[in-house]
Structure 1
Amino acid sequence: MAKDVAKDLMALDKALPELMSKTAATGLVPRELQAYVAPALEEFRNEMATELGMDNYAYIDKGELPSRLNGKVGGGMTKKMVSFAEAVLAWNYKNRTMLNEAADKQPEMITE
């Protein structure tokens, strides 16, 4: 069982950069992840509301809440998603920079 999980994680680790580049290039969620978007956002929304003191947000009639409270939930989500995207961009940029620097430092092959 643990070997299967490790194998899946290794496969994901190899596939993730390709998946991220496709997603970043197109702005679309890959087909294999689309089914997970709505439930993930719902869970994230409820977690954000809990952080703001609305523990039962999933069961509240959102139409009965003041716009300011609903806006705080959406605004908090946006702020966290932007921070996450910044971290992903920085990580990708750092890795590209390191790869370019490593390629520049390698001795050139002489072909005669």
Structure 2
Amino acid sequence: MWTRQHKNRKLGRFVLPLVTVAFLSYFGYHSIHGDRGLIAADEFEKLRFKRDAELAELVSRRKSLERQVELLSDGSLERDMIDEKARYQLNVSRPDEIVIFNDQIN
């Protein structure tokens, strides 16, 4: 009868722990630094707050433009508003007038 004698190897008992450590290290690293990790989530939140601020600014600008359109719409045309817009667009004034340009008027 043939029997094989195996020598007890010390390397064999380290294989499973090494594989486990490698597995946990890989997923741990990517949970922090990966495309959907903690750092990417933080950057996404910063971008979201920035975009929310831009949205608020654009909404206020749109409301301002809608108010100006209301003043120029049919039935509520005001001579002063028409005169002001025409002078601003054409860049024309009378010799006895003082013109002060304001960037908020579009």
- Alignment TM class, shorter chain as reference: 0.3 to 0.5
Question: Which protein has the larger Cα radius of gyration, Structure 1 or Structure 2?
Answer: 2
Bigger RCO (CA 8 Å, 6+ sep): 1
For normalisation by structure 1, the TM-score amounts to: 0.36
Query: Greater share of helix residues, 1 or 2?
Result: 1
Q: Give TM-score, length-normalised by structure 2.
A: 0.38
